Amino acid sequence: MRISSSTLYEVGVFSINDQLTKLVKTQQQIALGRRILTPEDDPAGASLALENEKALGVVNQYVDNIARARSALGFEETVLTSTTRVLQDARQLVVSAGNPTLSSANLATLATTLRSHYDELLSQANSKDGQGGYLFAGHKSATQPFTQTTGAGVYAGDQGQLKIQINASRQLAVSDSGQDVFNPGVTGSDIFATIETFITALNSGSITASDLTTALTQIDTAANNVLRVRASIGSRLNELDAAEGANLDAVLQYESTLSNIRDLDYTRAITNLTRQQTGLEAAQKSFVAVQGLSLFNFIS
């Protein structure tokens, strides 16, 4: 069979290119630490890796959501801790106002102090979160929830709770409405109106037993309601901890699966690289040797 010089040349070039292609691919795999560079390398593996990447992305989003939820609830807890303190201070002031030896001037001084508690409570009820939205406005986070009208705290928000997805089946409330926290709809439960009414009584210079009883009862009701909400926040924070643990376990599982599918076996890759380098050198030497042959090499 007669083989032309051009055929020998093409075969030699093909062999060199084939060895070089394999060598370059192995070098890329080593550089990236990946066995699968394109879907053609392992169609089934690439498809499975894509599915796991999508699932991992979803779970990582849940982890991020939990961090945001924890921050939001932590901020609300901080505000309500201050609210509890203000209500305790207000209660103490009401108790002290029951001292029968106090003069009208003394009562007026207490009224001024209680007014500062009122203003602080109203400020807390209109607190903003880290994004500038009103914390206790429900879904209407751009609307100031409480305004002062004839002493009462008029609520302009709604009764909704902002929620965030923390796993595939659970949305957790990360806020509480001002209606639920400061004025839960029970008769006589408007804490702003309660304090305003007692301030008026103090400024009148005369405090009755009924004034004291009513104010103390309603302040205690408000304080207990705030404690109820704080307990709910604590429960939700505990739930976040549990959900975070489960999500992080899932992240580790998906990452392990992805590593097994697409990550490179470096020992095997280095062995392949060495073999391919040897093969390329052999192909190059063979090509040079064949190209140097001529009929005159056989004439003596």
Both structure tokens of 68: 């945001």
Residue 229 sits in the same domain as residue 277: no
Residue 191 sits in the same domain as residue 170: yes
Residue 112 sits in the same domain as residue 134: yes
Residue 86 sits in the same domain as residue 196: yes
Burial class (CB in 10 A: 0-12, 13-18, 19+), 221: middle
Both structure tokens of 134: 């009103």
Q: Which of 19, 11, 22 is nearest to 282 (CA)?
A: 19
Residue 92 sits in the same domain as residue 225: yes
Backbone angles phi, psi at 172, to 5 degrees: -105, 135
Residue 232 sits in the same domain as residue 277: no
Residue 215 within a domain: yes
Residue 109 sits in the same domain as residue 227: yes
pLDDT of residue 261: 77
Burial class (CB in 10 A: 0-12, 13-18, 19+), 194: buried
Mean per-residue pLDDT for 176-201?
Answer: 83
Both structure tokens of 294: 């001529």
Residue 192 sits in the same domain as residue 247: yes
Output the CA angle 113-180-238, nearest 5 degrees.
Answer: 105
Residue 270 within a domain: yes
Mean per-residue pLDDT for 270-291?
Answer: 63
Helices (H), 132-208: 178-182, 191-204
Residue 57 within a domain: no
Spatial CB neighbours of 89, under 8 Å, sequence gap ≥ 6: 117
Residue 19 sits in the same domain as residue 145: no
CATH of the domain at 121: 1.20.1330.10
Output the CA angle 246-249-253, nearest 5 degrees.
Answer: 140
Residue 142 sits in the same domain as residue 68: yes
pLDDT of residue 187: 46
Residue 190: band (very low, low, confident or very high) from pLDDT cuts 50, 70, 90: confident
pLDDT of residue 298: 45
Spatial CB neighbours of 51, under 8 Å, sequence gap ≥ 6: none
Q: Per mean pLDDT, which range of 28-32, 74-78, 105-109, 247-251 is the poorest?
A: 28-32
Task: Return the H-helix or E-strand segment holding 106.
Answer: helix 104-125
**Amino acid, single-letter form, for residue 65:** N
Instruction: Please give the distance of CA 193 from its chain centroid, rounded to a whole number.
Output: 37
Both structure tokens of 120: 């602080």
Residue 175 within a domain: yes
| Domain span including residue 33 | 5-52+263-295
Residue 13 predicted with pLDDT over 50? yes
Backbone angles phi, psi at 165, to 5 degrees: -75, 125
Residue 295: band (very low, low, confident or very high) from pLDDT cuts 50, 70, 90: very low
Sign of the CA dihedral with 15 first, then 19, 24, and 26 last: positive
Query: Helix count (H) and strand count (E) of the chain?
Result: 7, 4
CA distances from 14 to 21, 176, 284 (A): 10, 72, 11
Q: How do residues 32-89 score in pLDDT, each as one tens digit?
A: 666 666 767 778 877 888 899 899 999 999 999 999 999 999 999 999 999 999 999 9
Residue 169 sits in the same domain as residue 146: yes
What domain count does the chain have? 2
- With residues binned 3-state (H G I as helix, E B as strand, rest as coil), the percentages for the chain, rounded to 5, are 70, 5, 25
Residue 300 within a domain: no
Output the CA angle 158-159-160, nearest 5 degrees.
Answer: 95
Residue 72 within a domain: yes
Residue 10 within a domain: yes
Residue 88 within a domain: yes
Q: How do residues 140-172 score in pLDDT, each as one tens digit?
A: 999 999 987 766 668 888 999 999 999 999 999
Residue 238 sits in the same domain as residue 96: yes
